[in-house]
Amino acid sequence: MPVLTVALEDGEQRIPFNCGCSMRDILDETDMRVRSGCSGLGRCGLCRVRIERGEPGTLTPNERLILDSHELEQGVRLACQVIPRHDIKITILAPARKSCWKSYSDKSAGRVPSLSMEKLPEEVISPYGVAVDVGTTNITVSLYDLTNGRCLAGRYGQNPQSCYGSDVVTRLIAAANSAEQAQAMSQLVTGAIGDALFDIAVREGIGIEKVVRLTLVGNTAMLALLSGRNYNLLLQPANWMSSIDCLPDNADAWGSSLGIHPGAHMEIMPPLAGFVGSDLLAGVLATRLTERKGGSLFIDFGTNSEIALWDGRTLHVTSAAGGPAFEGSGISCGFLAEPGAIWRVNARNGVFDYSVIGEREPLGLCGSGIVDLIACLIRSGGLTSKGAFAPPLSEEGFAIRQGNQGIVLTKRDVDVFQRAKAAIATGIEILLGEAAMGSDDLNRICVGGVFGSFLDTANAARIGLLPGIPPERVELCRNTALAGCADALLSDAAAERLRNLGHLARLINMSRCPDFDNIFMRNLFLLPMGVN
């Protein structure tokens, strides 16, 4: 894979990239964005970089128009116009302002808008729409051109509610104990969505006042905290199997506070029930799970993980309180899946090596890196199936990186991961049992969430996180909640299918399964599913 090297004052940073992306897009996936004001069309001339080494390709007409002869002699180019195909080194001449939001772009194709414009403002020419996924850990926002379905820009960043707790239950308790805290949590999310849209407007040169449609999905707790309605009901187990009325009375009124068109149509997709939200249903829509034959399993990994099994007639669904371990949080050596995170670990002849997102100094392990490291330690004998470190490793843990900036997997980290892994595996096993199926009956497994972007499925199966089926049947689908939300944003028919998915669903409350404790305890072992 070719590498883009960025010269910095204190060294350099290497970024592996896939051919076909502009230099601007490559940088946008890091914390080293360039200035921009035209959504990468080559019109504003702000994204100047200097080529230090390598072949940037021929000048485009826009570059010849914007850059003067002196700049061209110095090797200055526009990052949005350069599509590198080989190793290249640059200096960023016009860095963008620092932002808590990172750029995200939906590169998928095939979305053709099919919308009724009756509810939308007639005076807006070339209107925009926004899809929002409110997750427990992250919020993701994508902006689309409603005339052609093209994704113009996107952002993702941390859900600011995390200051009230890393998991949904802690936040729900905080809201139930204080009306002021509940109101603050709602305002934090609406403020974050508005801030992400403002970042898009400033950086991309897009007038968000032309946004006339917004569709939002999330897990039930996030929707309840966003609307400020009935979040206390989720703390009562008696309500976990019931539909929770947690949608705002007038979502359209939020438009002015977000800076979008005041007449914009806002739709918050309703959750199924309990802790199974519209994010799961959006994932089912995006993966077309119920449109294929039975034997399809969908897992949306996250702080609140949700699982769905389609047997050809019924969509069996449940949620698993895995905690934030899959997103690199709650673990001493954990780190979000962004530059600086170890995302892949290998071990050969007792020697461990790793790969880091952005090829920079490692800062910790993201979820997929933790899966790999634990699988490698199991295979090498460093960890037992019970999760205990074996001699000569001490109970202090295993250091994958030594020194002052050491990265150490501790016994407590393994324990936290084991509980998260056991919650997922238990959910899968119970759903298979409810459908009278075994893992051999699975024709397809769809893995959603950021965690699923980097996962080594063989290692996941080796430690019992996924059923052990042929790897070609496992699909890594990234942010399926946002993808399904975008489908619903751009198509009235898709939005109607999303609303109707609940009619196919059968919610399973794992806590009511008579053998839950035994299944959970069995899945604590770091062994393939079905191995005692």
Identify how many contiguous H helices and E strands the chain contains and give both numbers: 15, 22
For residue 323, the model assigns a pLDDT of 67
Q: What is the crossing angle of helices 179-204 and 220-227, to 10°?
A: 100
Over residues 131-151, the pLDDT tens digits come to: 999 998 889 999 999 989 999
Residue from 343, 323, 327, 452 nearest 407 by CA = 343
Helix segments in 205-237, DSSP class H? 220-227
Tokens of 473: 């049947």
Q: Which amino acid is present at 108? A: S
Contact 415, 395 (CB under 8 A): no
What distances in angstroms separate CA 415 from CA 87, 320, 373, one per listed residue? 42, 17, 14
Helix segments in 384-478, DSSP class H? 411-434, 451-454, 457-462
Beta bridge partners of 346: 353
- β pairing state of 11-16 and 3-8: antiparallel
Over residues 168-226, the pLDDT tens digits come to: 899 999 999 999 999 999 999 999 999 999 999 988 889 999 999 999 999 999 999 99
Q: Distance (Å, rounded) from C-alpha 421 to C-alpha 135?
A: 20
31 pLDDT higher than 90: no
pTM of the full predicted structure? 0.86
Tokens of 271: 């959750």
Nearby residues of 492 by Cβ (< 8 Å), 6 or more positions away: 114, 115, 116
Q: Kindly provide the residue ranges of all beta strands, DSSP E only, lying in 195-269, ordered along the sequence.
A: 211-218, 265-268
127 pLDDT higher than 90: yes
Over residues 275-326, the pLDDT tens digits come to: 899 999 999 999 999 998 899 999 998 878 899 999 999 999 999 877 677 8
The domains of the chain, with CATH numbers, are 3-98 (3.10.20.30), 103-275 (3.30.420.480), 280-324+423-523 (3.30.420), 327-415 (no CATH)
Mean residue pLDDT of the chain comes to 90
